């Protein structure tokens, strides 16, 4: 049977589409439906690696977890990974196609659109319900003929559409009604419900607002969702770092001790996969900040250089901003310095780029804090991996334990002090070991994304840095993720008319009935 579909669109970026798609995946799955997410085109440097090595957007991987199914490339057939202001690496069906300027990309619509429809058709053959996520706004009038992710997808599969407005940023009436009025009639007929998202305060104060939206929009309001604090779910992209972090009220107990450790993550211009550090941010004994200028750096206990989609460009930025000099100075004052993936490459003596991958730069001097050298290659390494810890220097007591995660990078790094041995079978292009550290273990790095999601390693490393065992959480990172997903779904079902939404999804003739009722 071909799966039913329900599509979530927003009035703008960051309206909450990804989160509500995640909630829907969880809600349908909890009712026993075989459920999968789908987003035709995503733009983000926060990527995930599927079991077969395919890259997809982090949000689709999270949605798959919410649905209880393994992530696959058909859930996100096109992923754009920005390398500069106007160019992105284009990932098609999980594999790099090429890097294109924005104007060139849009000219490829005829070539790329069949990949979108074929992926959607394949995934609909395997599941009961597909929850489809849009991007940006469906009312971007200048892109109507070019877009491959909003109404073009809804029209293709005749999917009912939920339109989400963000009340926190203000102007929610203009957002929702303006979007409806700008849509052509055939597209407007597909919109079966409105959701007002991120409401803070007494929900009853918006009762009259619901009436106004329904009267003027002709579409029922299926719910008003309150702001859900401290969900601790991976963010879709770095836009989330522009807003101050939410305060987790559950952690502000009377008399609670201040954090024992301050960690700074450098907010590189092309930062990638920064959900690597979510378990550290959630630890009650840790204060984690993202900084992008020297005046914000201070004197932290740890500085982390994260992954990046443009190692050479961000290395140059690091020097121009003055942060490189500050990091080198702090490293001499016993501040721990850590590099993950692209950040690991930057810590070395030099990066050689004979094929001009990601950049026209042939080679660049690194920060020289680790005795390593990296050579970039055109072939991109993407794989899920498991390593055995072969050294206790970084995380005392962890020798012999396994850590898992994923690799996603160009190039190989030569190290004389690897501290992890590959357990998963190594192909010809995969190094048998990973990682490097300085003599005292104060400066170290590796390629492994997801390292800090390994509870035993994280606890051992933090313990070496003086974070007490009692300050840690007794729940694993994976269990905490599942609890957050359930809390999100619980809130969705409490504040959204899910029975009505189910009817709109499964009854083909309910779309017009919903609009008539509105």
Domains by residue range for the chain, with CATH:
4-231+481-517 (3.40.50.300), 261-467 (3.40.50.880)
- Tens digits of residue pLDDT in 362-398: 889 999 999 999 999 888 889 999 999 999 999 999 9
Lowest mean pLDDT among 51-55, 167-171, 238-242, 252-256: 252-256
Q: What are the two backbone dihedrals, phi and then psi, of residue 388, each rounded to the nearest 5 degrees? A: -105, 130
Lowest mean pLDDT among 83-97, 392-406, 445-459: 83-97
Task: Pull the structure tokens for residue 345.
Answer: 């490459």
pTM for this prediction:
0.89
Task: Pull the structure tokens for residue 418.
Answer: 């690897």
> Average pLDDT, stretch 422-426?
77
Contacting residues for 474 by C-beta, under 8 A, at least 6 apart: none
Distance CA 50, CA 70 (A): 8
Catalytic center residues: 341, 449
What's the pLDDT score for residue 238?
A: 61
Beta bridge partners of 436: 445
User: Mean pLDDT of all residues in the chain?
Assistant: 91
Comparing 354 with 133, which gets the higher pLDDT? 133
Alpha helix (H) residue ranges in 202-331? 207-217, 278-281, 294-297, 311-320, 323-331
CB 76 within 8 A of CB 62: no
- Tens digits of residue pLDDT in 214-258: 999 999 999 999 998 877 888 776 666 765 444 444 444 445 567
Distance CA 363, CA 353 (A): 5
Lowest mean pLDDT among 153-167, 436-450, 459-473: 459-473
Crossing angle of helices 58-67 and 17-30, in 10° steps, is 20
- Tens digits of residue pLDDT in 458-511: 999 999 999 976 655 567 888 999 999 999 999 999 999 999 999 999 985 655
What's the pLDDT score for residue 474?
A: 64
- 258 exposure class (CB count in 10 Å sphere: 0-12, 13-18, 19+): exposed
What's the pLDDT score for residue 242?
A: 65
Q: Where are the beta strands (DSSP E) in 267-328?
A: 271-272, 286-291, 302-305, 307-308
Task: Pull the structure tokens for residue 9.
Answer: 């669109």
Q: How many CB atoms lie within 10 A of CB 137?
A: 21
Distance CA 308, CA 274 (A): 9
């Amino acid at each position: 049977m071909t799966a039913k579909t329900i599509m979530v669109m927003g009035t703008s970026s960051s309206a909450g589409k990804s989160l509500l798609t995640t909630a829907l995946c969880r809600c349908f799955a909890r009712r026993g439906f075989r459920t999968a997410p789908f987003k035709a085109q995503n733009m983000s440097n926060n990527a995930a690696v599927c079991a077969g090595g395919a890259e997809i957007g982090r949000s689709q991987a999270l949605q798959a977890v919410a649905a209880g199914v393994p992530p696959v490339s058909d859930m996100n057939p096109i992923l754009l990974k920005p390398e500069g202001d106007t160019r992105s690496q284009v990932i098609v069906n999980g594999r790099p196609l090429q890097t294109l300027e924005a104007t060139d990309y849009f000219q490829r619509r005829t070539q790329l659109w069949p990949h979108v429809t074929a992926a959607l058709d394949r995934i609909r053959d395997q599941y009961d319900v597909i929850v489809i996520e849009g991007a940006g706004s469906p009312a971007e009038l200048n892109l109507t003929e070019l877009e491959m992710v909003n109404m073009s997808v809804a029209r293709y599969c005749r999917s009912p559409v939920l339109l989400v407005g963000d009340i926190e940023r203000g102007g929610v009436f203009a957002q929702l009604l303006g979007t409806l009025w700008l849509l052509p009639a055939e597209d407007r007929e597909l919109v079966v419900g409105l959701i007002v998202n991120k409401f803070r305060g007494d929900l009853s104060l918006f009762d009259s607002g619901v009436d106004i939206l329904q009267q003027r929009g002709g579409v029922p309001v299926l719910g008003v969702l309150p702001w859900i604090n401290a969900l601790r779910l991976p963010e879709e992209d770095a836009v989330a770092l522009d807003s101050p972090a939410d305060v987790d009220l559950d952690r502000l107990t009377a008399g609670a001790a201040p954090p024992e450790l301050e960690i700074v993550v450098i907010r590189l211009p092309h930062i990638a996969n920064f959900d690597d550090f979510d378990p550290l941010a959630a630890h009650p004994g840790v204060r984690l900040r993202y900084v992008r200028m020297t005046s914000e750096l201070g004197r932290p206990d740890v500085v982390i250089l994260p992954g990046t989609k443009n190692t050479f460009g961000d290395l140059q930025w690091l020097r121009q901003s003055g942060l490189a000099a500050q990091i080198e100075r702090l490293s001499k004052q016993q501040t721990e310095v850590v590099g993950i993936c692209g950040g690991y490459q930057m810590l070395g003596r030099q990066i050689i780029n004979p094929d001009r991958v990601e950049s026209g730069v042939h080679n660049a001097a690194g920060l020289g804090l680790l005795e390593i050298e990296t050579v970039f290659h055109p072939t991109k390494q993407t794989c899920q991996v498991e390593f055995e810890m072969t050294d206790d220097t970084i995380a005392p007591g962890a020798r012999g334990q396994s850590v898992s995660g994923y690799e996603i990078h160009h190039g190989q790094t030569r190290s004389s002090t690897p501290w992890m041995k590959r357990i998963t079978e190594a192909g010809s292009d995969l190094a048998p070991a990973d990682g490097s550290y300085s003599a005292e273990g104060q400066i170290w790095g590796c390629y492994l994304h997801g390292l800090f999601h390994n509870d035993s390693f994280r606890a051992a490393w933090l313990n070496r840095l003086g974070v007490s065992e009692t300050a840690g959480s007794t729940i694993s990172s994976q269990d905490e993720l599942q609890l957050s997903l359930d809390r999100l779904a619980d809130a969705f079902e409490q504040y959204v008319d899910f029975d009505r939404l189910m009817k709109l999804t499964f009854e083909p003739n309910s779309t017009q009935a919903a609009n008539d009722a509105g």
